[in-house]
Structure 1
Amino acid sequence: MKVLFVCMGNICRSPTAEAVFRKCAEKAGMDKRVTIDSAGTDRWHIGKAPDQRACLAAARRGYDLAALRARQVSVEDFQRFDLILAMDHDNLERLRALRPATCNAEVDLFLRRYRLGEDAVPDPYYGGEDGFEQVLDLIEDGVAQLLDEIRGRQ
């Protein structure tokens, strides 16, 4: 299974989801069975490290974002990945607009698919530290469900 997490700039939510999923997949012994990446729908931060606040919040929970660098979603991603998960409705619409007609990848909202009762991971960029903690809470819950789905497919 190849999974791509997508947010706007690829410096807060999607790299956090990538790091959380990567660590959880390793703990579950599934890291050899999954490919994990993240990207942004916009190009503002290409090549930049994740937001320092996201890195600090993640590090407090044992996740490492230091090696990650922002990139923009490409048309090729729709062929390379099985599942492309948007962090919010705006990015889902951007992905749908970019998606080629001959695409095999499933495109969905991360939380709508993996956390009942919620559908968007809020963007913490313009808020305080607590927003990054909330993002981690939501992503950790969703990733647990994603791992269960992958186990069920194999």
Structure 2
Amino acid sequence: MREAETTAGGGLELGTNWRRLVDGWTAASNIHSVTDTTSVSMEFNLPEVGRVVTVRFMTTTRLLVAFMTDGRFLKPEQLALAAAAANAWNTEQLLPMLSVWDVRGPQPCLAGVCSLPLTCRMTQSDFNTLAADWAGRARQMFTRCHQVFRL
């Protein structure tokens, strides 16, 4: 690491180093990831409900976003229940924020989102802790959606 990246503010600036931080977390945690030009994705098994959660890290102009989904599409008759599940989760847990994604599209789904400003600075250790927490909460969120709401 370059000296300027680690001394000013005590960590790496997320905007220019988010891939390095995500790659460092996945390597330290022995998590397989797939990288493309805009994102880094990984999958986590939910053995208690027989599903897989995908977490995809990407950026907007101002944010690092972790987008989470279990890849299950909602049927039209499930939309109200999914909205209730999202409301319950967001009221009780708040993180990740859960929503019914692409509600006007042909195949809406449940999705969770966590984000950080690209201007913040983090050490690799702090990022590892945060990313592991986000992934753990995503597992909880989708397990709960399945077990409690049957989504």
Q: What's the TM-score once normalised by structure 2's chain length?
A: 0.35
Give 1 or 2: higher strand fraction.
2
Larger Rg: 2
